[in-house]
Amino acid sequence: MKHQIKNRITSKVLFECDIPDDVETVNEVKYALAKAVKEKATMSHAGLSGADLYYANLSGADLSNAILSNAYLSRANLSGADLTGAYLSRANLSNADLSRANLSNADLTGADLSGAKLNGAKLNGADLSNAILSNADLTGADLSGADLSNAILSNANLSRANLSNADLSGADLSHADLNGAKLNGAKLNGADLYYANLSGAYLSRANLPGADLTGADLTGADLSHADLNGAKLNGAKLNGADLYGAKLNGAKLKNNEVLVGNRPIFSIGPIGSRPDNFIAYITDKGIRLDAGCKKNITLEEFEGLLSETHGNNVHGREYRAALALISIHHELWGVKQ
């Protein structure tokens, strides 16, 4: 029996082959498509909606502009495949290998990409809104200008990924690894970045109002001119972060303490026995401090720990000099009563 794969627009036959008798009906499309790819046939604009392609070997396939919506591609090998402009909405691509694949401008709305390998993939301009990408490997992927609004990216590896100008509003990025990622101009309004690793990330001019950065690691991150109005910063690590021109009005620490004043975050360092940055926050409840492993503690708490730990040694004297400078900074830049 023959099986045909047709162009979704013109109905022209793109590939035709005989199906062996021992191939089950449910696997006919998979068999024909794998054979077409092996013979290097072009499957551009192929109509494959709802196809069962579980574990299919489609490495290097030309599936540009193909219709694969609702297709079952779990654990499929699509490494190096051309899926430019393909329609993959609500497709199941869980644990699929899409490393180095080209998915530029593809429609992946609501697709399941959990655990997928997307390292080095091109996803610029792709629509991934409401997609599931939890535990996916997106190391070095190009997601510039992509729509990832309300996508689930918890525990995903996005280290060194390019997310510049991407829309991540409302996305779940909790515990995601964004080390060294480019997020310049990205929309992260209301995004969940709970305990995400953003060390060394580029967030210049990023929009983060209302984002949850609780416990996030922003060590050495570029947050210059970023909008952090109303963001949650409880326990966030800001050592060495560039906050030049950042908007921090209404950003919150623990117990909903709100940052106030024109320059509410003041960093000195590295100092102390670690050595590390000594960070002061001007809040509506007074000054709060980050010192070593202690986060958002009061002046009274810090002074008690300082006397107990360092007394009047070189570190104690250095910290007290820093406290004097912080007090002056608070006087100059805090909210005037």
Give a three-class secondary structure readout of 295-333: EEEEHHHHHHHHHHHCCCCHHHHHHHHHHHHHHHHHHHH
Looking at the structure, tell me whether residues 6 and 91 fall in a common domain: yes
Contact 203, 186 (CB under 8 A): yes
Looking at the structure, tell me whether residues 224 and 322 fall in a common domain: no
What does the alpha-carbon distance between residue 166 and residue 207 come to, in Å, rounded to a whole number? 10
Instruction: Name the strand (E) or helix (H) holding 38.
Output: helix 28-38
DSSP label of 262: S
From residue 288, give the alpha-carbon distance in Å to each of 20, 119, 147, 276, 305.
73, 40, 37, 16, 14
Looking at the structure, tell me whether residues 43 and 97 fall in a common domain: yes
Looking at the structure, tell me whether residues 65 and 93 fall in a common domain: yes
Q: Is 298 domain-assigned?
A: yes
- Domain count of the fold of the chain: 3
Q: Is 146 domain-assigned?
A: no
Looking at the structure, tell me whether residues 28 and 74 fall in a common domain: yes
Looking at the structure, tell me whether residues 263 and 241 fall in a common domain: no
**What is the domain range of residue 337?**
255-337
Quote the pLDDT of residue 334: 81
Q: Is 77 domain-assigned?
A: yes
Residue 91: both structure tokens together: 């497709």
Q: Is 164 domain-assigned?
A: no
From residue 149, give the alpha-carbon distance in Å to each of 11, 25, 32, 39.
35, 38, 36, 38
Would you give per-residue pLDDT tens digits along the chain (337 residues)? 889 999 999 999 999 999 999 999 989 999 999 999 999 999 999 999 999 999 999 999 999 999 999 999 999 999 999 999 999 999 999 999 999 999 999 999 999 999 999 999 999 999 999 999 999 999 999 999 999 999 999 999 999 999 999 999 999 999 999 999 999 999 999 999 999 999 999 999 999 999 999 999 999 999 999 999 999 999 999 989 999 999 998 999 988 899 998 899 999 989 988 888 999 999 999 999 998 888 889 999 999 999 999 999 999 999 999 999 999 999 998 876 5
Quote the pLDDT of residue 249: 87
Q: Is 80 domain-assigned?
A: yes
Q: Is 23 domain-assigned?
A: yes
Looking at the structure, tell me whether residues 262 and 248 fall in a common domain: no
Looking at the structure, tell me whether residues 13 and 97 fall in a common domain: yes
Quote the pLDDT of residue 337: 52
Looking at the structure, tell me whether residues 213 and 294 fall in a common domain: no
Closest CA to 315 of 267, 264, 276, 283: 276
Q: Is 210 domain-assigned?
A: yes
Looking at the structure, tell me whether residues 96 and 1 fall in a common domain: yes
Looking at the structure, tell me whether residues 280 and 241 fall in a common domain: no
Domain boundary among 128, 161, 193: 128
Q: Is 259 domain-assigned?
A: yes
Looking at the structure, tell me whether residues 3 and 101 fall in a common domain: yes
